[in-house]
Chain A
Amino acid sequence: MSILSRLQSLRSVQSNMLLASVALILMTIMIMSVVSYYLTKDAVQSKAQEYTTELVKQVNYNIKAYVNSMKYMSEVVEGNPFVQDYLSKGTFASLQEEKSYKETVSNLLGSMLVSRTDITSVNVFGYDGKFVSGRKELELNPFIELTSLNWYRNAQDAGGQSVISSSHVQPIFKNRYPWVVSLSRELYSRDGSKQLGIFLADLNFSVMNEMFADIRLGHRGYLFIIDSSGKIVYHPQQQLIYSKLKYEMIDRVLEVKNGTFTSDEGIDSRMYTVQDSDFGWKIVGVSYVNELVSNQNEVRLSYFMLGLICIIIAIIISYFMSKRMSQPIKQLQSYMKEVEKGNFDIHVPVPRMTEIGMLARTFNIMVGKIKELMNQVVTDQEQKRKSELSALQAQINPHFLYNTLDSIVWMAESNKSKEVVLMTSALAKLFRASISKGEELVSIRTEIEHITNYLKIQKMRYKNKLDYQIEISESVWDYMTIKVILQPIVENAIYHGIKMKQGPGLIRISAEETETAISLIVEDNGKGMDKGKLRTLLLPNPVTEEGRGVGVRNVHERLKLYFSPQYGLTYKSTPEIGTSVYIQFPKFPHSLEAKK
């Protein structure tokens, strides 16, 4: 297919419609996909954010529950009269009394630890060196200075408020180094005038650790906690942060009270969801932005695929639709091409579609009209020809008649009555043959008879100047020919050939026969013609001189008209030697004529 025809095919109605609908569908689907992709992305993102916020809040509640229970313990301990008494008494009446006090306080603390595996210890430290623990088996680590520890100093600084430490190792007990979160509080005497000591409750950090370690936000997201000074309480990758292999945006977290922000780290951007607990910690959920739409690529791909499938379906549908639309137009077009070629015998089937149907119907009417008109033109033409021909045929006779009558008159004047009789009878026969019941076709026999009579008359007129021979074999006599075809040729040969030359002339009429056709040949040895004259001889409507050639052309035309254009006259002529005329027409037996 060449580029040109491809272009043309692109210009067709069908391709135009196809292209237009494909473009439309493509655009719609693309816009829809992009919009719904972004909507999904937004939805997923805000959902993830919601989820993280909810989760972080939940964690906050859980931690708060622990902290509150420890706070409650501290309040119970502070308000307890035995604790007050034990701590505020400088001296005891007896060692026994001191022991029983200690026992009571220890039991009180111990009762708080019943079924609380999450609390590693509840302790009271008096400023005068007293120490009571809820777990009686615990002994103080003699190598540790209490006052050097943060929870101890912070409680002193807080002046009666409870203080939550960060996660840390609690080294105060012998042989134990547990990770804990400490709640410490300075204990005051009931009247508030005297500081008695420090209360300490340790929450086993592994409880929290377990609680957080399983929390995953997406595949890589996690949760971490910092205290109010930015120290890490819990972080799943604490080691990596201390060794600077990972970086956490603690400064920004500290600035935010509650809420969300996103770090700007390219594909590793993280979304921080910060929740401020009321005891100073900040719980932070971290999720990776590119994970939020966790299967972002999958979503994008499925939209892409859906779009592609829709486009394919759309193309197929619009192809068939446009084909359905353009098919009748194409059909109509092919019918029109037929008409263009000249075939008016067609009837376009009328399609059901209204517009095209109307077009087809109108087309049918138009073709019908044209056909009618054409037929009319043909019959008109024929009519015209026929009337022209009969007019031409009629032209022969008066001409010749006038000459012959002239001769008869001349002979009668010279008392040549015998000749007059001869000539008149020949003339009578001639006319009889030429009239011949008014039929167009006659047998060659009749035609020979006709030309014989004619030549007889002319011989009488020209005497020795003219000689003739008719040598037509009898085998062709019964074939049919149109009448009066030899006479105009012979007449021509006499007037323009023999009459013009010096001395006597000979006219010879013979016949040739092939399988399908017959040629009658008229030869003369007259003046002949040059090539220029020959060429113009058979042309229609040449400039005629003295009506010359009218009869000959008439014969030529009639042969063509009656039989077919391949028949007619052929001239051969040499100046000063003579002319031969071949009259060709098909073999036409008599019986056929009868049938016709």
Chain B
Amino acid sequence: MKLGKYKWIVGVVAVLLIAIISSSYWKEALTKKKTTDIIIILKSNDTTIEFWQVLIDGIHEAAKEFNTHVQVRGAKDEADVDGQIALVKNAIEERPDAIILAATDFDRLIPISTDVVARGIKLITVDSGINSDIAQSVVSTDNFKAGREAGQAMLQQITGPAKIGIISYVKNASSHIEREKGVREVLNSQPNIELLDTYFVDGSEQKAYLKVKEILEIHPDVMGIIGLNEPTAVGAGRAIQEMGIGEQVKLIGFDSSVNEIKLVDEGIMKATVIQRPFQMGYLSVKTAVEAVSGKKVQKQIDTGSLVITKQNMYEEENQKLMFPFIGK
């Protein structure tokens, strides 16, 4: 009887002690919620390219909001495919929860990306994907749609028969391939428009400038140039401006920069199709966090695109997209 009573007391005390210990563990688990580790590998670590800077801003904004630890890296330049593969390889060794990749090459990043997925690391591609659907999610502009928008902007600028040239930055970047397809889809259907071959400029604005100059000299009857990204558009704009044929040759570009804005202001560039890099950065991190926490994520996330002309450039909402706020 006496022992029994002791048992009772000992039992109660033991239960309470267990409760305390377990709750303190629970508390630890509660307060030390593990932060997600994400490594982001962009096409280029060139901080002068506004597009990537704004995208990185979006990444940091999301990282702050979702309490995520992010590291942003980039290849030397957008043509440095080997450099980027090496970066991905190193990132795998660090075993992050997720890797966000903006692929410099449509095909050559596939094997290393397969490695990423095989190691159980979530893979999200941003802006430029790979020619494989192993990524958990692809966060990018619907480049095909953007290409169509560029094509349509060009159509609005020209009347009558015309020759049009397309300048692409690098071969094998999915974003450029898609854009080109979009442009071609719109313009091919026009009977009086002749599309020239796509010109590749190996990731150089200077080459784009020279190439466009060359094209305009060889084909003086070219009426439209479409630059598939910022450097190509600026290079083309420089050539057109120099040759003083801004009235005759209509230039449509992609993305935005001070140089492009000047070109639009000056009336040389008729329109530019801008993307939403901030959204890309933000949504890629958000999607990665969701994927890591086991939620089902959308396979394709379109961040949208917008055609900017001189007329709508200073509208409140477009300002923020056209003139990104850098260096905050």
A-side residues, CB < 8 A to B, are 1, 5-6, 9, 14-15, 141, 143-144, 149, 166, 168-169, 171, 175, 177, 179, 206, 209-210, 213, 219-220, 231, 236-240, 242-243, 245, 295, 297-298, 301, 304-305, 308-309, 311-312, 315-316, 319
B262/A175 in contact, CB under 8 A: yes
Given contacts A168-B319, A206-B327, contact A305 B265 (CB under 8 A): no
The residue of chain A having its C-beta at the shortest distance from the C-beta of B27 within the complex is A301
B4 within 8 A of A: yes
B299 within 8 A of A: no
Given contacts A304-B23, A311-B16, A315-B12, contact A169 B314 (CB under 8 A): yes
* CB-defined contacts of A9 to chain B, threshold 8 Å: 1, 4-5, 8
CA distance in complex: A15, B67 (Å)? 52
Contact of A315 among B13, B314, B319, B323 (CB under 8 A): B13
* CB-defined contacts of B23 to chain A, threshold 8 Å: 301, 304-305, 308
CA distance in complex: A14, B12 (Å)? 16
Chain B 277-328 interface residues, beta-carbon cutoff 8 Å to A: 278-279, 282-283, 303-304, 314, 316-317, 319-323, 325, 327-328
Interface 1/0s, chain B 34-75, versus A by CB < 8 A?
000000000000000000000000100100110100000000
Contact of A177 among B16, B17, B261, B321 (CB under 8 A): B261
A240/B282 in contact, CB under 8 A: yes
B282/A206 in contact, CB under 8 A: no
The 4 closest A-B pairs by CB, nearest first: A239-B278, A143-B265, A169-B323, A1-B4
B278/A14 in contact, CB under 8 A: no
Given A141-B265, A210-B328, 12 further pairs, Cβ under 8 A: A9-B5, A143-B267, A175-B262, A177-B258, A177-B261, A236-B61, A239-B278, A239-B320, A240-B279, A301-B23, A301-B30, A315-B13
CA distance in complex: A546, B266 (Å)? 161
Min CB–CB distance B154 → chain A (angstroms):
21
Min CB–CB distance A296 → chain B (angstroms):
11
CA distance in complex: A295, B30 (Å)? 10
Contact of A5 among B1, B262, B327 (CB under 8 A): B1
**Listed A/B pairs (28) with beta-carbon separation below 8 Å:** A1-B4, A5-B1, A9-B5, A143-B267, A149-B314, A169-B314, A171-B265, A177-B258, A206-B325, A206-B328, A209-B328, A210-B328, A220-B64, A237-B61, A239-B58, A239-B278, A239-B321, A240-B279, A242-B320, A243-B279, A245-B279, A295-B31, A304-B23, A305-B20, A305-B23, A308-B19, A308-B20, A312-B13
CA distance in complex: A213, B328 (Å)? 8
With most chain B CB atoms within 10 A of its CB, the pick from A141, A166, A171, A210 is A171
Min CB–CB distance B157 → chain A (angstroms):
18
Contact of A245 among B8, B9, B282 (CB under 8 A): B282
* CB-defined contacts of B314 to chain A, threshold 8 Å: 149, 168-169, 171
Min CB–CB distance B137 → chain A (angstroms):
16
B250 within 8 A of A: no
* CB-defined contacts of B19 to chain A, threshold 8 Å: 308
Interface 1/0s, chain B 62-99, versus A by CB < 8 A?
00110100000000000000000000000000000000
B316/A316 in contact, CB under 8 A: no
CA distance in complex: A169, B267 (Å)? 18
Min CB–CB distance B7 → chain A (angstroms):
8
* CB-defined contacts of A316 to chain B, threshold 8 Å: 13
A177/B61 in contact, CB under 8 A: no
B238 within 8 A of A: no
* CB-defined contacts of A143 to chain B, threshold 8 Å: 265-267
A243/B304 in contact, CB under 8 A: yes
Given contacts A144-B265, A220-B65, contact A305 B317 (CB under 8 A): no
A6/B9 in contact, CB under 8 A: no
B30/A169 in contact, CB under 8 A: no
CA distance in complex: A219, B67 (Å)? 9
The residue of chain A having its C-beta at the shortest distance from the C-beta of B282 within the complex is A240
* CB-defined contacts of A312 to chain B, threshold 8 Å: 13, 16-17
CA distance in complex: A273, B1 (Å)? 65
B261/A308 in contact, CB under 8 A: no
A319/B27 in contact, CB under 8 A: no
B276 within 8 A of A: yes
Min CB–CB distance B84 → chain A (angstroms):
26
A179/B323 in contact, CB under 8 A: yes
B5/A169 in contact, CB under 8 A: no
B24 within 8 A of A: yes
* CB-defined contacts of B8 to chain A, threshold 8 Å: 9
The residue of chain B having its C-beta at the shortest distance from the C-beta of A295 within the complex is B31
Min CB–CB distance B25 → chain A (angstroms):
11
Min CB–CB distance B320 → chain A (angstroms):
6
* CB-defined contacts of B278 to chain A, threshold 8 Å: 239-240
* CB-defined contacts of A311 to chain B, threshold 8 Å: 16
The residue of chain B having its C-beta at the shortest distance from the C-beta of A8 within the complex is B1
Min CB–CB distance A224 → chain B (angstroms):
14
Given contacts A210-B328, A240-B282, contact A169 B319 (CB under 8 A): yes
* CB-defined contacts of B321 to chain A, threshold 8 Å: 239, 242
Min CB–CB distance A239 → chain B (angstroms):
4
CA distance in complex: A79, B323 (Å)? 36
CA distance in complex: A117, B103 (Å)? 41
The residue of chain B having its C-beta at the shortest distance from the C-beta of A315 within the complex is B12
A179/B20 in contact, CB under 8 A: no
Min CB–CB distance A104 → chain B (angstroms):
32
CA distance in complex: A251, B303 (Å)? 27
B325/A209 in contact, CB under 8 A: yes
The residue of chain B having its C-beta at the shortest distance from the C-beta of A209 within the complex is B328
A179/B325 in contact, CB under 8 A: yes
* CB-defined contacts of B322 to chain A, threshold 8 Å: 169
With most chain A CB atoms within 10 A of its CB, the pick from B4, B5, B12, B303 is B5
The residue of chain B having its C-beta at the shortest distance from the C-beta of A141 within the complex is B265
The residue of chain A having its C-beta at the shortest distance from the C-beta of B20 within the complex is A308
Min CB–CB distance B309 → chain A (angstroms):
13
* CB-defined contacts of A301 to chain B, threshold 8 Å: 23, 26-27, 30
Min CB–CB distance B269 → chain A (angstroms):
12
* CB-defined contacts of B65 to chain A, threshold 8 Å: 220
* CB-defined contacts of B20 to chain A, threshold 8 Å: 305, 308-309
Min CB–CB distance B119 → chain A (angstroms):
31
* CB-defined contacts of A5 to chain B, threshold 8 Å: 1, 4
The residue of chain A having its C-beta at the shortest distance from the C-beta of B264 within the complex is A143
With most chain B CB atoms within 10 A of its CB, the pick from A179, A243, A297 is A243
* CB-defined contacts of A14 to chain B, threshold 8 Å: 5
* CB-defined contacts of A169 to chain B, threshold 8 Å: 314, 319, 322-323
CA distance in complex: A308, B24 (Å)? 12
Min CB–CB distance A350 → chain B (angstroms):
23
CA distance in complex: A166, B320 (Å)? 13
Contact of B27 among A213, A240, A298 (CB under 8 A): A298
The residue of chain A having its C-beta at the shortest distance from the C-beta of B7 within the complex is A1
Min CB–CB distance A368 → chain B (angstroms):
30
* CB-defined contacts of B5 to chain A, threshold 8 Å: 9, 14-15
CA distance in complex: A141, B310 (Å)? 14
A166/B316 in contact, CB under 8 A: yes
* CB-defined contacts of B283 to chain A, threshold 8 Å: 245
* CB-defined contacts of A240 to chain B, threshold 8 Å: 61, 278-279, 282
The residue of chain A having its C-beta at the shortest distance from the C-beta of B316 within the complex is A231
CA distance in complex: A301, B27 (Å)? 7
